[in-house]
Amino acid sequence: MKSRTHKRSLPVSLILCAAILQSAVPFPAAAADDASYIFHDSFEFGVGDWGGRGGCTVRSATDSAYQGSGSLSVTGRSDTWQGPEKSLASICEAGKTYSFSVCAGYETGPESMKFQLSLSYKDAAGTVNYEHLAVAETMAVNYVQLSNPEFMIPTDASEPILYVETLSGSSNFYIDEAICAPAGTMIEGPKPVKFTLGDVNLDGTISGADLTLAKRYQDQDFPNRTMRRAADVNQNGSVTEDDIRWFVQYLTGQTSEYPERVAPPVTPFDYDPALKYHGFDEREYIDKQANQRGRVIEEHYDGTTGMNTLYVYVPYGYDESKQYNIFYLLHGGGENKKTLFFQDDTMIQNVLDHMIENGELEPMIVVTPTWNQTGADKFYTEFRDKVVPFVEGKYATYAESTSIEDLQASRYHRAYGGFSMGSVSTWGVLCHNLDIVAYYMPLSGDYRINNWNEKQKADVITKAIQDSGLKTNEYFIFCATGSEDIAYPNMTPQIEEMKKHPEYIYSSDLSQGNFYYLVRQGGIHWWGNVRHYIYDILPYFFHEGQ
């Protein structure tokens, strides 16, 4: 039986502070006795009969634990459903009710992670079914309990398998104290931890232990983003002597208030107020690969009409502890999510690699979803409800979490654009998602919907902006096409109608304006031109509203 001396095992980087944290973070014991449990997997002496679902790896670990010194480490995940699993075939009976509890946690990665305890089984027809027992969210270096004291194994179930998955992302994690007990057994476990500025060790209070950690990691990388965020009490983006001084004043009773938020310093961007098309040298940006190359990753997510696929570009040196601007870029008609990265006349990743390596663009994340399952003009719903939470729950963006409040707070670090029908989707996202996206790049496509004329299109877009309540320096639309592009005759009249409204201040200097139209003379409806528009426009994004 596992010892009931409760301590938290910490990563090596926190060993110097282990004594402080162990005394500051007591954990509750299970309410029931081991003798009453049907199984109790403490992982003190190995993995037991747990395996890796979907090919991920499970192993015994001692670098993190909820109780005792051992846990089950889960690595090598590439999708949310992959995680540790245990067969219940010889343990639990169909039609009977049980109490289940598993503790889950992680050390590094996103600000927070949602875990789900699930059961797969085959019904009488041999079809695989899935039941979800419990969901809970926690932050780094903290375990959370997944518990259901009254769960009935379906009466027709065979081959039942208990497993732990995440609702987004594929980060490594740990489980501990996996317990099955008779129905109604209340098994105590760790409670969800609430984030509080100043509470660096996330124990629910601000104490000398937090000051010690803030000073210890002030000039270094914190073990995880949550700790760094908590130590940055003036919220200026870094932990400095000003933050340390506040801790001292707070702990000695000199103040009971947080310091005023200090906006991170922003170097003004050198805008050209009347930008002309200039493009790049394809011999350098396409034919040659950069020395420092990013990665393109295939991802699968649950869309509004079923499973869907998208691709994510992460820059060279991508670091989960940092924050990156994010650009969602959509394909045209007859194309798909692969078009932007795997087609000879696109190869956007080569352009991005060179721009970042040359200092023309800050490292950023670029995502290429597809609107093929919803239609371009209706994709705004899937984008908001499915794509953004999936991607930004897994990758390191400026969104502290995927709550609507945090997505709204990070809107100046999010952009959306597209070519042709992808441009149609861009206008649709603008009309419905202004609260979470600040930057828009419609390329070679007007708001082609309901047979509207150019005035109706401009009026509908403008009405959406008016309804949003945003000021003219809180949204930015940078359009482009070619003079010989088939979209030019429809796009240009819409742009001219939009210029008549006071909601648009026409300038490519986005510190002064919010609307601009770039035209390449002789340019036709072709990705070979569009990638140059992206090259010209993208560096102008993400400098305002910081």
Put residue 60 in one of left, alpha, beta given phi > 0 → left and psi -120 to 50 → alpha.
Answer: beta
Give the contacts of 154 (CB within 8 A, at least 6 positions apart). 94, 95, 121, 123, 129, 131
Distance CA 58, CA 77 (A): 10
Higher confidence at residue 173 or residue 138?
173
Residue 184 and residue 99 in contact, taking contact as beta carbons nearer than 8 Å: yes
Distance CA 194, CA 203 (A): 9
- Mean per-residue pLDDT for 337-346? 86
**Closest listed residue to residue 47, CA positions, set 65, 64, 59:** 59
Residue 500 and residue 455 in contact, taking contact as beta carbons nearer than 8 Å: no
Residue 469 and residue 503 in contact, taking contact as beta carbons nearer than 8 Å: no
SS3 148: strand
How far lies 48's CA from each of 84, 102, 181, 182, 468, in Å? 11, 15, 18, 21, 55
Q: What is the pLDDT of residue 22?
A: 33
Distance CA 135, CA 151 (A): 14
Structure tokens at 80: 């949310």
Domain boundaries, the chain: 12-182, 195-265, 282-540
SS3 517: strand
Q: DSSP label at 191?
A: P
How far lies 115's CA from each of 135, 177, 468, 521, 539, in Å? 6, 15, 34, 53, 37
Residue 230 and residue 199 in contact, taking contact as beta carbons nearer than 8 Å: yes
Beta-bridge partner residues of 178: 41
Using 50, 70 and 90 to split pLDDT, how confident is the model at 110?
confident
If you count them, how many residues does the chain have?
A: 546
Residue 388 and residue 437 in contact, taking contact as beta carbons nearer than 8 Å: no
Residue 292 and residue 544 in contact, taking contact as beta carbons nearer than 8 Å: no
DSSP E strand stretches across 392-528? 414-419, 439-443, 476-482, 515-520
Cβ count within 10 A of residue 274? 10
Whether the predicted pLDDT of 24 surpasses 50 = no
Q: What are phi and psi of 166, to 5 degrees?
A: -120, 155
* CATH number for the domain running over 195-265: 1.10.1330.10
Cα angle, residue 96 at apex, residues 91 and 97 outer, rounded to 5°: 95
Structure tokens at 503: 């909601």
Distance CA 136, CA 39 (A): 22
Whether the predicted pLDDT of 527 surpasses 80 = yes
Distance CA 319, CA 101 (A): 33
pLDDT digit string, tens, across residues 426-465: 999 999 999 999 999 999 999 988 889 999 999 999 999 9
**Closest listed residue to residue 463, CA positions, set 438, 432, 440:** 432
Beta-bridge partner residues of 31: none
Look up residue 218 and give its amino acid: Q
SS3 72: strand
Q: What is the pLDDT of residue 114?
A: 87
Task: Say if 12-182 and 282-540 have the same CATH topology.
Answer: no
pLDDT digit string, tens, across residues 471-508: 999 999 999 999 999 999 999 999 999 999 999 999 99
Distance CA 480, CA 443 (A): 5
Whether the predicted pLDDT of 275 surpasses 50 = yes
Residue 47 and residue 41 in contact, taking contact as beta carbons nearer than 8 Å: no
Residue 145 and residue 191 in contact, taking contact as beta carbons nearer than 8 Å: yes
Q: DSSP label at 268?
A: P
Residue 490 and residue 473 in contact, taking contact as beta carbons nearer than 8 Å: no
- Mean per-residue pLDDT for 11-40? 48
SS3 113: strand
Q: What is the pTM of this model?
A: 0.62
Using 50, 70 and 90 to split pLDDT, how confident is the model at 13?
very low
Residue 114 and residue 137 in contact, taking contact as beta carbons nearer than 8 Å: yes
Transcribe 500-516 into DSSP letters. Answer: TSTT--B-S-TTT-SEE
Using 50, 70 and 90 to split pLDDT, how confident is the model at 16?
very low
Q: What is the pLDDT of residue 400?
A: 86
pLDDT digit string, tens, across residues 382-424: 999 999 999 999 899 999 889 999 999 999 999 999 999 999 9
SS3 422: helix
Distance CA 446, CA 423 (A): 7
Structure tokens at 472: 């003219």
**Thinking of the domain 282-540, which architecture would CATH place it in?**
3-Layer(aba) Sandwich (3.40)
Give the number of C-alpha atoms closer than 13 A to the C-alpha of residue 259, restricted to the C-beta side: 21
Give the contacts of 309 (CB within 8 A, at least 6 positions apart). 298, 299, 300, 301, 337, 370
Using 50, 70 and 90 to split pLDDT, how confident is the model at 273?
very high
Residue 216 and residue 222 in contact, taking contact as beta carbons nearer than 8 Å: no
Residue 68 and residue 105 in contact, taking contact as beta carbons nearer than 8 Å: no
**Thinking of the domain 12-182, which architecture would CATH place it in?**
Sandwich (2.60)
What share of the chain in percent tops pLDDT 90?
A: 75
Beta-bridge partner residues of 113: 138
Distance CA 105, CA 115 (A): 9
